[in-house]
C-alpha cells in the first residue's frame, strides 16, 4: 500500500489511546505480541569516517576525541559474537565507519568474518556504507542476512544533516541490497531539529518502498559532545512514541527496533514504546561508540513486562501466516 503524507499525518495525529490501539492491532496481526528480537551491535572499524553526518561522533569532521581504530581481525570479532550469543542475542550486527566498502584485503577479511558469525547460528547484519552490487552479492553469499543503511531523515531536511552523500545514493544502496537477496534494515533518527512533518515524510519514504524494510530502527538522537548537534534537547517522549506507533501501523511486518537513546529513557517510556509496536532492541552496554543500557537491566525490564526473546525463524513464520490470511481475504 502506498501512503500519502496526509494519510500518515492522520494516523500520527490520532488521539494517543486510539493510535496505540491501532498499533497494537497491527502488531498482534503480524507479530508475536510478546516477542522481542535481541540484537548486538559491534563497531569493527571505528572513527575517521569521511562523512559529515552532524549526529555522528565517528565523523572525521567532528571533534569528539574518539580514537580511530583499523578494521578488527576476524578472531577478535568472532570472540565478541560468541559473547553476544551467550548473552542471548540472535542477531549480530557489525558496523564499520566507511563511506564506501573497500575492496582488497579488508573486504576479504570481512567476508571471512561474516562466514564465521553465520556458522555460529547467528543472524548476520552489516552496516558498512555504500556497496557495489558485486560486493552486496558477495556478502550475501558469505552468509550476511541483513544490511543496514538508514535514510536518517526526510529528503527535505537531509542536507541540513549530511552533505557528503545524497539521499538518492542511500535509496540506491538499499536497491542493491534487495537485488542481492539480503534483507533491508533502514530507519532514521528523531530529534535532530527536524519538524514532525520531516519525520512523517521519512516514514512515508520507508513505507512506500516496495517492499518496505524488514527492520526499521527508530533512534532518538544522542547529542554527542564535539558533534554539530551537541547540546540539543532529548526528543519529546510522546512524539517519539507516536513515531514508533506510526511506523508499526505503516509497516506491520517489519521489526521496529528501539535503537539509540535508550539510556535517556526510563522503563516506563520504553514500555510505552513496546506497547506502540517496538519489538527489537540492541543488547550490550555500547552501540558502536555510544552508551546503551546494561544487559542485566534490559532483561530485568523484559521480565517485568512478561516479554520473551523472539526467535527469527518463528518471527518469519508469523509474518508469512499473516500475509497468507490477508491474501485469502482479497
Tell me the mean pLDDT per 10 residues along the chain, length 330.
Answer: 95 98 96 94 78 75 67 91 93 87 90 96 93 96 96 95 92 96 96 96 97 96 84 94 98 94 94 97 78 89 94 77 66
Q: Is residue 26 part of a domain?
A: no
Q: Is residue 20 part of a domain?
A: no
Q: Which of 93, 144, 224, 273 is catalytic?
A: 93
185 is catalytic: yes
H or E element in which residue 112 lies: helix 105-119
Bridge pairing between strands 308-309 and 35-45: parallel
126 is catalytic: no
Considering its fold, how many domains does the chain have in total? 1
Q: Which of 185, 224, 242, 262 is catalytic?
A: 185
pLDDT tens, position by position, 207-251? 999 999 999 999 999 888 888 888 889 999 999 999 999 999 999
49 is catalytic: yes
144 is catalytic: no
Distance of CA 44 to the CA centre of its chain: 17
pLDDT tens, position by position, 33-54? 999 999 999 888 776 677 777 7
Within 260-311, where are the H helices? 267-275, 295-304
Q: Is residue 18 part of a domain?
A: no
273 is catalytic: no
Whole-number pLDDT of residue 62:
61
Q: Which of 22, 39, 91, 125 is catalytic?
A: 125
Range of the domain at 99: 5-9+35-329
**Who contacts 14 (Cβ-Cβ below 8 Å, separation ≥6)?**
22
Whole-number pLDDT of residue 100:
83
56 is catalytic: yes
**Could you give the CA distance from residue 304 to residue 298 in angstroms, rounded to a whole number?**
10
Q: Is residue 15 part of a domain?
A: no
Q: Is residue 21 part of a domain?
A: no
Q: Is residue 191 part of a domain?
A: yes
Q: Is residue 95 part of a domain?
A: yes
Q: What is the reported pTM?
A: 0.92
Whole-number pLDDT of residue 320:
75
224 is catalytic: no
Question: Residue 261, class by beta-carbon neighbours within 10 Å (0-12 exposed, 13-18 middle, 19+ buried)?
Answer: buried
Whole-number pLDDT of residue 222:
87
Q: Which of 39, 257, 262, 273 is catalytic?
A: 257
Q: Which of 39, 49, 126, 224 is catalytic?
A: 49
User: Please, are residues 249 and 215 in contact by the beta-carbon 8 Å criterion?
Assistant: no
Q: Is residue 273 part of a domain?
A: yes
Distance of CA 88 to the CA centre of its chain: 18
| Domain containing residue 92: CATH number | 3.20.20.70
User: Please, are residues 215 and 184 in contact by the beta-carbon 8 Å criterion?
Assistant: yes
Query: In this structure, what is the dihedral angle of CA atoms 194, 224, 297, 29, given to the nearest 10 degrees?
Result: 20
Whole-number pLDDT of residue 47:
62
Whole-number pLDDT of residue 145:
96
**Could you give the CA distance from residue 218 to residue 177 in angstroms, rounded to a whole number?**
20
Amino acid at each position: 500500500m502506498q501512503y500519502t503524507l496526509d494519510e500518515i499525518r492522520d494516523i500520527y495525529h490520532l488521539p494517543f489511546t486510539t493510535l496505540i490501539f491501532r498499533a497494537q492491532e497491527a502488531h498482534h496481526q503480524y507479530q508475536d505480541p510478546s516477542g522481542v528480537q535481541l540484537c548486538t551491535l559491534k563497531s569493527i572499524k571505528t572513527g575517521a569516517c569521511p562523512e559529515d553526518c552532524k549526529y555522528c561522533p565517528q565523523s572525521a569532521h567532528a571533534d569528539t576525541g574518539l580514537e580511530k581504530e583499523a578494521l578488527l581481525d576476524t578472531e577478535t570479532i568472532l570472540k565478541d559474537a560468541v559473547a553476544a550469543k551467550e548473552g542471548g542475542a540472535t542477531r549480530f550486527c557489525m558496523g564499520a565507519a566507511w563511506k564506501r566498502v573497500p575492496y582488497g584485503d579488508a573486504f576479504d577479511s570481512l567476508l571471512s568474518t561474516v562466514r564465521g558469525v553465520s556458522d555460529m547460528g547467528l543472524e548476520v547484519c552489516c552496516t558498512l556504507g555504500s556497496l557495489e552490487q558485486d560486493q552486496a552479492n558477495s556478502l550475501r553469499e558469505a552468509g550476511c542476512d541483513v544490511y543496514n543503511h538508514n535514510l536518517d531523515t526526510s529528503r527535505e531536511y537531509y542536507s541540513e544533516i549530511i552533505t557528503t552523500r545524497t539521499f538518492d545514493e542511500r535509496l540506491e544502496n538499499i536497491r542493491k541490497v534487495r537485488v542481492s537477496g539480503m534483507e533491508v534494515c533502514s530507519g532514521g533518527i528523531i530529534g535532530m531539529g527536524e519538524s514532525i512533518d520531516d519525520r512523517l515524510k521519512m516514514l512515508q519514504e520507508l513505507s512506500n518502498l516496495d517492499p518496505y524494510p524488514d527492520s526499521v530502527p527508530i533512534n532518538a538522537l544522542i547529542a554527542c559532545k564535539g558533534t554539530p548537534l551537541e547540546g540539543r534537547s532529548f526528543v519529546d517522549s510522546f512524539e517519539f512514541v507516536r513515531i514508533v506507533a506510526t511506523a508499526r501501523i505503516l509497516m506491520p511486518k517489519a521489526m521496529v527496533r528501539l535503537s539509540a537513546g535508550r539510556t535517556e529513557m526510563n522503563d516506563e517510556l520504553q514500555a510505552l514504546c513496546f506497547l506502540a509496536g517496538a519489538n527489537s532492541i540492541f543488547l550490550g552496554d555500547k552501540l558502536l561508540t555510544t552508551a546503551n543500557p546494561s544487559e542485566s537491566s534490559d532483561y530485568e525490564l523484559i521480565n517485568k513486562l512478561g516479554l520473551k526473546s523472539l526467535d527469527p525463524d518463528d518471527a518469519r513464520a508469523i509474518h508469512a501466516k499473516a500475509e497468507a490470511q490477508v491474501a485469502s481475504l482479497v
